[in-house]
Amino acid sequence: MGQSDVAELLKEFYSNEPPDLAAITDLNRRHFRFLLPNGRFFKIKDVVRSAGDLQRWLLQLRPLDVYYSTSTYLNPTSVAPRPKKATDHWGAGNIILGNDIAFDLDRQPLSLLNLERGRKDAVRLLEMMTGRGYLLKYAAFSGSKGFHLVFDDPDDSIEEDPRLREGAIIEKRKALVGEIAAEGIEIDASVTVDTRRIIRLPGTINSKTGYCCRLLSNDQLRSPVASWIDDVPSIEGHRKIPRFAWKAPLKRKAVPREEEKGCGYTTFITSSVLGTKGRHAVLISLPKGTIDSAVRRLRAVQREFDLTDIYLFELPRSFQAVCLKTVQRNRYQKILDSARSPSAGQLRNYQRVSLRMGPLVDQEMRVLEPPAQFITYLECSSEARNSNFVSRGHIAFLRKHGLAPLEYPRMHGREEFKLVDAEIRL
């Protein structure tokens, strides 16, 4: 797609979607900067007082990316780099009045699983910060690999000297970053500490993906990314976020037999770890209910049996859980019985579990039900991830279908997996 095409798409988007600036406090004290199609940054020289002011600039310049300052300035239209020497002159564009506490949580590379990892850390960070009395201004999906959380700084003490004021803010942010690191939450520390930082403006397009940087409600932030990601505004030709996917089934050439009417066809992954003697990956099917109830049940067996990360998928009539940890059959049976999974009877009768992951199709290969859709994952401790063996073959299965799992140091079996195509009654 050429630059002119992108420019027209951006013009159309911003004509219909003026940015919602309600979450940005002290708007007329903020500095705004555009990344233009020629690769250069452009500083807005006007004071932006409303969404209409900014929309006019967006339609005129059609920037690839739009940023605003986390700090408020005495004169936001003449912002300059921080003077290096104490004796240097500090003009109005160098005087910072205040600074938001901004966090950037990115997980690379871009994938639905990594977005889910970032979302979970964002929730942990939100709970940590609000528990300490910080007020959330907004949470946003960045439009690419992560999330932004922006908080108000409750410290209303103002240092009169602008040099000392900015230095005091930086020292406070460094201390806060250290406390967050101690909690095991990964953030881009430079975004939080740098008082001269600019971050992506909510309501604007992220050129890396074509998705909009979108404000999230508390319910959305606490819900799996898969439940809202397809509703995020985007421009035509936007990048596809890698997720678990199944190739579209091919049309059958043969004329269906009369007795095949009322049957459907689908594909299962088996629990068998190829290249081992009797070991299984922990595959668990659960009846359809709420996601919360499925997560609670899986969390219980994860704790009881020291399971590794559990990847949760959804079908129209069931939840399918894939844990890569390898276990012997007797141990597997105890896990399934404890989870009260219908898979328990399958293992007892057939010595293995087969989990439906493919689409359900009829005789003409028309899709009746979609394949399993990845929802979220239940993270294990780093000790469990590093000490347990996982199935190399089931990792290959997830990767083949677009879901790159987390890294595991100890593996069992060959890099192969067993699929079973089956006919089922409709």
Average pLDDT of the chain, as a whole number: 93
Of 3.90.920.10, 3.90.79.10, 3.30.420.40, 3.40.50.300, the CATH number of 3-231 is 3.90.920.10
The CA distances from residue 136 to 72, 107, 123, 306, 344, in Å, are 17, 22, 12, 35, 45
List the one residue out of 101, 218, 117 whose CA is nearest residue 154. Answer: 101
**pLDDT tens digit sequence for 345-397:** 999 999 999 999 999 998 888 899 999 999 999 999 999 999 999 999 999 99
The pLDDT of 265-269, averaged and rounded, is 95
pTM of the model: 0.87
Which pLDDT does position 244 carry in this prediction?
A: 87
pLDDT at 178: 97
Sequence-distant (6+) residues with CB within 8 A of 220 are: 228
Q: What tokens appear for 361 in the block?
A: 């199709």
pLDDT reading at 28 higher than 50 = yes
pLDDT value, residue 156: 74
Q: Helix (H, G, I), strand (E, B), or coil: what is residue 281? A: strand
pLDDT at 254 over 50: no
- pLDDT, one tens digit per residue, over 7-21 is 999 999 999 999 889
List of residues 6+ apart from 280 with CB closer than 8 A: 271, 272, 273, 326, 327, 328, 329, 332, 352, 353
Q: Where do the domains of the chain lie?
A: 3-231, 258-425
| Per-residue confidence band for 161, with pLDDT thresholds at 50, 70 and 90 | confident
